[in-house]
Amino acid sequence: MARKKLQRFEEIQTFPFYFETGYFTLQQCPFPLKGKWRNDFFGNDNPLVLELACGKAEYTVEMAQRFTNKNFIAIDIKSDRMWVGANKANNLGLKNVAFLRVPIGLIEHCFDKNEVDEIWITFPDPQPQSRVSKRLTSPRFINRYLKILKPQGLIHLKTDDGDLFNYTLEILKSFNFKLLECNYDVYKERGDDIITQVQTFYEKMWLSQGKTIKYLAFQI
Ligand SMILES: C[S@@+](CC[C@H](N)C(=O)[O-])C[C@H]1O[C@@H](n2cnc3c(N)ncnc32)[C@H](O)[C@@H]1O
């Protein structure tokens, strides 16, 4: 393993807001903070927002600074990527963030019913038509989010992928969710707000290739 990656693996473990657990452990017993994130970790009763497939967690770090009255948890399976956001959060001394390395497919083992207010899904792997069930907005995953989201909880999706975007619109129709925002090209359609102000690592890459960036938000 490259030295830098190894250093990141080691360093992220020292951050007090970083947690990880394996697939088999989670399957056997729930994550210890399940149902207790507010009381036992954040020490407040503020809304809880998740960023799934966070990568370097650009949204978590930015939102945590802007919205100090909310708690944010960045989730991914790759801790060397998460280290980038976690290191920034550590340097900034952010108190309203956590980083959780778990497979999203076991998210309901980490959060209790009604524990989560909002979910952001930022540039997830689009997955081809042949693997739609692996999409983070497929019914397989949506049903998991429904187990942890509060009634009327929000889900945001930012992506460059037109197929994933249209697929997600179909899925939310089939669930009868309420579409709140739908932009096929955020930089043409939106003003200056958090959707256009924050660019993730993958977003910058897609923008440099001339792709348009899409965004939707819906309420369950
Ligand atoms: C294309 S990257 C996007 C990263 C970041 N949001 C960005 O925009 O730069 C997709 C991320 O999803 C993570 N991922 C994919 N499937 C996952 C799963 N089942 N559980 C946890 N993370 C997953 C990958 O590790 C990767 O970091």
Ligand 1 proximity of 203 Cβ (cutoff 6 Å): yes
The values of phi and psi at residue 24, to 5°, are -70, -40
Q: What is the CA radius of gyration of the chain?
A: 17
* Distances 68 to 18, 38, 44 between C-alpha atoms, Å: 19, 14, 11
Give pLDDT, residue 3: 87
Under the banding of pLDDT at 50, 70 and 90, the label for residue 1 is low
**What is the pLDDT at residue 153?**
97
Q: Tens digit of pLDDT for each residue in 49-81?
A: 999 999 999 999 999 999 999 999 999 999 999
Domain ranges of the chain: 3-219
Question: What separation in Å is there between the alpha carbon of 43 and the centre of ligand 1?
Answer: 28
CA gap 83, 55 in Å, rounded: 9
User: pTM here?
Assistant: 0.97
Dmax over CA atoms of the chain, in Å, equals: 49
Instruction: From the candidates 117, 125, 163, 192, give the one annotated as an active-site residue.
Output: 125
Its CATH class, for the domain covering 3-219, is alpha beta
Beta-ladder partners of 99? 18, 74
Cα 33 to ligand 1 centre (Å):
22
Of all protein residues, whose CA lies closest to atom 14 belonging to ligand 1? 53
pLDDT tens-digit readout, 163-210 = 999 999 999 999 999 999 999 999 999 999 999 999 999 999 999 999
Active site residue 80: no
Task: Give pLDDT, residue 129.
Answer: 84
Q: Which residue has the tokens 């540039």?
A: 123
From the CB of 76, is ligand 1 less than 6 Å away? yes
Q: How far apart are CA 104 and CA 115, in angstroms?
A: 16
Mean pLDDT computed over every residue of the chain: 96
pLDDT tens digits, one per residue of 105-129: 999 999 999 999 999 999 999 998 8
Give the pLDDT band of residue 130 (cuts 50, 70, 90): confident
- Alpha helices for 15-78 (secondary structure H): 23-28, 58-66
Nearest CA to ligand 1 atom 16: 53
